[in-house]
């Protein structure tokens, strides 16, 4: 299901892994993750890259859930500051002004790597744990060779047209869907129309 949805958002039946990482946002300490786009970290020629954030536990406001600026992907790459890592000016893009994407365990949040997003401090007594998966169209090459990682280039769905490597049988192209959130048990209410590609 996840790669079918990713294919619809990317606009290609073929989905390739760029990287993945586990995030553990500790309780009652730490700092906000400033608003940013992922594009400056690993720019690609066609900007097909998307993120899928899988929630291992509930992510309410007090746990510092991900926040987004709806529709911001439409503006393309935005100039970032580089101090301490790529981020947008805090005065122009305060985390608290962005739309919170509260989630339940098992929910998946999808968005373009051009979507402006960040997260606030986890003020709860429990950690917030998520798995980030960054995926792209295999025909969308990186503009700069950065952020290289083990497993990069693995086909998650379809084939890599440049080399003809296929994924296991059964991953057939699905229908087109917009970006959004996917619940662990129900897809319809949180997918597509409600969230749209605004996230």
In the chain, the domains with their CATH numbers are: 2-198 (2.60.120.620)
Judge whether residue 182 has pLDDT over 80: no
Buried (b) or exposed (e) across 96-117, using 16+ Cβ within 10 A? eebebbbbeeebbbbbbbbbbb
User: For the segment 52-91, what is each residue's pLDDT rounded down to a tens digit?
Assistant: 999 999 999 999 999 999 999 999 999 988 876 778 988 9
Segment among 16-25, 104-113, 161-170, 174-183 with least mean pLDDT: 174-183
pLDDT tier for residue 184 given thresholds of 50, 70 and 90: very low
Q: Which of 28-42, 112-126, 179-193 has the lowest mean pLDDT?
A: 179-193
Q: Work out the mean pLDDT of the chain and round it to a whole number.
A: 83
């Amino acid at each position: 299901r996840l790669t079918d949805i990713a294919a619809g958002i990317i606009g290609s039946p073929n989905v390739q892994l760029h990287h993945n990482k586990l995030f553990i946002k500790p309780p009652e300490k730490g700092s906000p993750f400033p608003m940013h786009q992922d594009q400056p970290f690993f720019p690609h020629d066609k900007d097909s890259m998307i993120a899928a954030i899988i929630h291992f536990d509930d992510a309410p406001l007090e746990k510092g859930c991900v926040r987004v600026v709806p529709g911001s992907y439409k503006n393309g790459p935005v100039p970032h500051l580089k101090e301490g890592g790529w981020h947008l000016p805090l005065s122009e893009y305060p985390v608290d002004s962005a739309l919170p994407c509260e989630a339940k365990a098992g929910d998946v949040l999808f968005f373009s790597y051009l979507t402006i997003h960040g997260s606030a401090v986890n003020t709860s007594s429990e950690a917030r744990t998520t798995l980030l998966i960054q995926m792209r169209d295999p025909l969308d090459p990186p503009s700069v060779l950065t952020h290289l990682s083990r497993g990069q280039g693995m086909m998650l769905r379809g084939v890599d047209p440049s080399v003809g490597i296929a994924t296991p049988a059964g991953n057939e192209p699905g229908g087109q869907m917009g970006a959004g959130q996917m619940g662990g048990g129900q897809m319809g209410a949180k997918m597509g129309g409600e969230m749209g590609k605004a996230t």
